[in-house]
Amino acid sequence: MSRLLFLSFVLLACAITANAQTISPSTVVFMGHVESLEWSPDGQSLAIQGEGGTRIFNFDNQLIGYLEENDYVPPNASFDSYSQSWGVGVSWDTESKNLVAPYYDILESRFGIKVWDAETETPIFNYTLSTDNTDIDWNKNTHEVAISYRSPQEGAYEFWDITIVNIDENTGFAFAVSEIPINDIAWSPNGIFLATGNADGRVDIWDTSQRDLIQVNPFTGTPPPKETLTTLWGHSSAVNAVAWNNDGSLLASASSDGSIRIWDINTHETIQIFENRSGINSIDWDSTGAFLASGSEDAIIRIWNITTRELVTELEGHQDAITDLDWHPDNTKIATSSKDNRVRVWDLNLE
């Protein structure tokens, strides 16, 4: 090889290195089936929900707590039968002291949610549901938790409920009912609006301050008052995830159609569309609102720049579809879970 050709290769390699984002190899934190994960608001703990309970890891990826999901496991029960998850979702309160997760009482055949003291690993509140839930989100402004779950009905019809539970008052309010499966729910940063991603491709935004105006009766066919609900159409397939940016001015929605839509909350219009090669299961904003991470069926995590509208980088390491992801509050890490039964934590440098 001539010296000139060698020098050309060296210069090309340097140029590629200069333009690439620095992504450190990921660390496998947990091996097992995972439904959901979330960093605590103070960034000190990562809660991983699935396979029989919720596990808590510290910032150094060490297991520091285990909250058992099943209230009763018969003696000599097989691991496969009683290690499955009985619901979806895990969410911290704003003080990073308590978290909410699903549970199942096998003896009573009863589903529900429990609020746990993360430090003592003891439950401090529980609320019974009729079936397993599809998502949970803790309102960071109040002691209210929103839950979506399938409501069994007599006959051929099924409905999906959104219930808001007040932890302090030990009360629950059936806020809304949908005839379409609800895949994801998310409180807005101000704690007033609740967004849902639905199986028919729509995104609903509920004004929970108007909850007294809603009469929950799915059999009447009467739509809720206009001031309580805004519906956003644009996706051609199921919406699997919704996420608000840091100031609540934008809402991102991700779909099985392979697209992410960024919605202006004031105009209710799509202002950006990011196209992906496969269906998207999870999304999350960084704390500045400058970047959006997405996890897809093709096992790749992608990070998008909202300002430049460009794909910043792709994180490859999982061997199957991404099921959930969450950005660390200081934006230096992303935790991801996958159908490959691995939870990974990625170190990021996106400056």
pLDDT digits (tens, 9 = 90+) for 72-91: 434 443 333 343 445 789 99
Distance from C-alpha of 37 to C-alpha of 95, rounded to nearest angstrom: 17
Rounded Cα gap, residues 286 and 334, in angstroms: 9
Measured CA to CA, the distance from residue 108 to residue 193 in angstroms comes to 35
Within 10 Å of residue 104's Cβ, how many Cβ atoms?
Answer: 22
This prediction's pTM: 0.85
Residue count of the chain, please give it.
351
pLDDT at 249: 96
Strand-pairing partners, residue 292, are: 285, 304
- Mean pLDDT, rounded, of the chain: 83
pLDDT value at 298 more than 90: yes
Q: How far apart are CA 291 and CA 339, in angstroms?
A: 25
- For the chain, which domains are there? 3-349 (2.130.10.10)
pLDDT value of residue 70: 60
**Burial of 60 by CB count in 10 Å (0-12 exposed, 13-18 middle, 19+ buried)?**
exposed
Label residue 44 by pLDDT band (50, 70, 90).
Answer: very high
Strands 91-92 vs 63-68: parallel, antiparallel or unpaired? unpaired
If 0-12 CB within 10 Å is exposed, 13-18 middle and 19+ buried, where does residue 230 land? middle
| Residue 310 to residues 148, 150, 160, 280, Cα–Cα distance (Å) | 33, 38, 36, 17
State mean pLDDT over 308-321. Answer: 95
The mean pLDDT of 15-27, rounded to a whole number, is 46
Higher per-residue confidence, 317 vs 156: 317
Instruction: Determine the average pLDDT of the residues in 275-296.
Output: 96
Q: Give the pLDDT of residue 218.
A: 44
Q: Looking at residue 21, what is its pLDDT?
A: 45
Is 302:269 a contact under the CB 8 Å cutoff?
Answer: no
Q: What is the pLDDT of residues 145-191, one digit of tens each?
A: 999 987 766 555 567 888 899 998 888 887 777 778 899 999 999 99
Cα dihedral sign, 342-48-260-274: negative
Q: Which of 119-128, 253-262, 303-312, 317-326 has the lowest mean pLDDT?
A: 119-128
Task: Copy the structure tokens of residue 287.
Answer: 């704390």
